């Protein structure tokens, strides 16, 4: 007959003192208190599972009281009676808790930033910064701290509809962020179900309008006359004068670097990473453009950028400087924008100067294949483009005296 172990009392547990070696105080039915040399008091349960002696921890005193320890012992004994190993159950619960903790730690904000970091090498700096700004301003405050595994489709639909109340275009950009983040989460094992997989009809389409730009000779004449009369900073005036001559995207113009220009060859070679198409682009320089560049070089030629920021020579001028300068000249945003010089040149080069649309599209760096299905390269139609860029500069000069 097994030896009867007198049960412990709360006072016994409380007064158990540490010794030079660890020792046990039994409570019966497999439960005992293990007292360590450092004074820790640990509840343990010993049992036999298919004839093999085993032992599991039931917690630490005083976090787990004597009564709590007895409840845990009885639960473990019931498992053993059912043929279940309580040690295995505990390990399984611990593993599940760890998985849940990892899921809880993988918040939407954390995963979205990982996706953004992974993708930003494929994007322009402007696009990368714009998406990150949208995340911080519109998305993270709503779902940023939620585990990404806990976010469901209705949560995302409500989020997009909320953003759309402020800006439909921003809501569509937010939709791109959500789609990218959840696809990234699927690929990296953060989630098994993609709540952003069916977003086709969540938002109405954005109705795009053409960039504001004059295309009548008298209106264009007023514009170029006003630019020549600009009384602001010389660097900004040069940027305004070159904008219609180059008709590149505003971000490409403002970030232009002197190392990209060869005035002797009359070329501006724009590296691919600055272009929307990610392909290098060549801008032939007219005589008028070269004259402006030579004057500008006297002021900024020792630095990196043609149009440095007023705050730091290490940065180019701000994103909206061209538009601000146009507003200062009295032109409304529905009359002309920095991007509108592209539409102005495209229309007038074809309708007024009768140049080949293929050459115009090539100079605009539009990713349109030719009749053989080949994508444009930096020198395609180059002979006609050289003539076109000079003819365009001459045309702008010719209409300046017209009212």
| Residues marked as catalytic | 249, 274, 339, 342, 366, 376
Beta strands 23-28 and 31-35, pairing class? antiparallel
Dihedral of alpha carbons 357, 362, 364, 365, sign: positive
State phi, psi for 6 to the nearest 5 degrees.
-65, 135
**Secondary structure (3-state) at 193:** coil
109: closest CA among 209, 201, 190?
Answer: 190
Q: Do 41 and 35 contact (CB within 8 A), yes or no?
A: yes
The residues near 54 (Cβ < 8 Å, ≥ 6 apart) are: 46, 47, 48, 85, 87
**Cβ burial 59-73 (10 Å sphere, 16+ → b, else e):** eebeebebeebbebb
Within 344-388, strands assigned E span none
- Distance separating alpha carbons of residues 289 and 299, to the nearest angstrom: 16
Residue labelled with tokens 């090498």:
121
**99's tokens:** 């998985």
DSSP symbol at 376:
P
Phi, psi of 60 (to 5 degrees): -120, 135
Question: Is-contact 149 103, C-beta < 8 A?
Answer: yes
What is the C-alpha to C-alpha distance for residues 171 and 163, in angstroms, rounded to an integer? 5
């Amino acid at each position: 007959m097994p030896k009867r172990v007198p049960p412990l009392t709360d006072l016994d547990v409380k007064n158990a003192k540490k010794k030079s070696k660890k020792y046990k105080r039994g409570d019966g039915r497999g439960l005992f208190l293990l007292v360590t040399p450092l004074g820790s008091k640990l509840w343990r349960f010993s049992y036999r599972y298919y004839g093999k002696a085993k032992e599991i921890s039931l917690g630490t005193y005083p976090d787990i009281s004597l009564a709590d320890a007895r409840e845990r012992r009885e639960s473990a004994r019931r498992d053993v009676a059912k043929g279940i190993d309580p040690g295995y159950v505990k390990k399984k619960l611990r593993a599940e808790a760890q998985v849940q903790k990892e899921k809880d730690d993988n918040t939407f904000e954390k995963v979205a930033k990982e996706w953004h970091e992974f993708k930003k090498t494929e994007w322009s700096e402007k696009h990368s910064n714009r998406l990150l700004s949208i995340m911080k301003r519109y998305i993270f405050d709503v779902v940023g701290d939620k585990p990404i595994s806990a976010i469901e489709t209705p949560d995302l639909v409500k989020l997009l509809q909320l953003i759309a109340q402020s800006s439909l275009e921003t809501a569509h950009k937010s939709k791109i962020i959500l789609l990218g983040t959840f696809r990234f989460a699927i690929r990296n094992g953060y989630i098994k179900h993609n709540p952003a997989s069916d977003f086709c009809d969540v938002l109405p389409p954005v109705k795009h309008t053409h960039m504001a730009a004059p295309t009548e000779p008298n209106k264009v004449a007023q514009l170029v006359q006003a630019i020549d009369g600009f009384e602001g900073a010389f660097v900004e005036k040069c940027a305004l004068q070159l904008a219609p001559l180059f008709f590149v995207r505003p971000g490409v113009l403002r970030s232009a670097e002197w190392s990209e220009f060869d005035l002797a060859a009359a070329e501006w070679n724009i590296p691919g990473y600055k272009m929307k198409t990610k392909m290098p682009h060549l801008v032939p320089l007219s005589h008028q453009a070269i004259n402006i560049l030579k004057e500008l070089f006297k002021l900024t030629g020792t630095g990196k950028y043609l149009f440095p920021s007023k705050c730091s020579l290490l940065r180019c001028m701000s994103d909206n400087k061209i538009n601000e300068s146009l507003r200062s000249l009295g032109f409304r945003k529905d009359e002309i924008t920095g991007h509108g010089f592209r539409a102005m040149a495209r229309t007038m080069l074809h309708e007024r100067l009768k140049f080949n649309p293929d050459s115009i599209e090539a100079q605009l760096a539009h990713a349109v294949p030719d009749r053989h299905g080949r994508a444009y390269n930096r020198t395609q139609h180059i002979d006609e483009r050289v003539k076109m860029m000079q003819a365009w500069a001459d045309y702008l000069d010719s209409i300046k005296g017209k009212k």
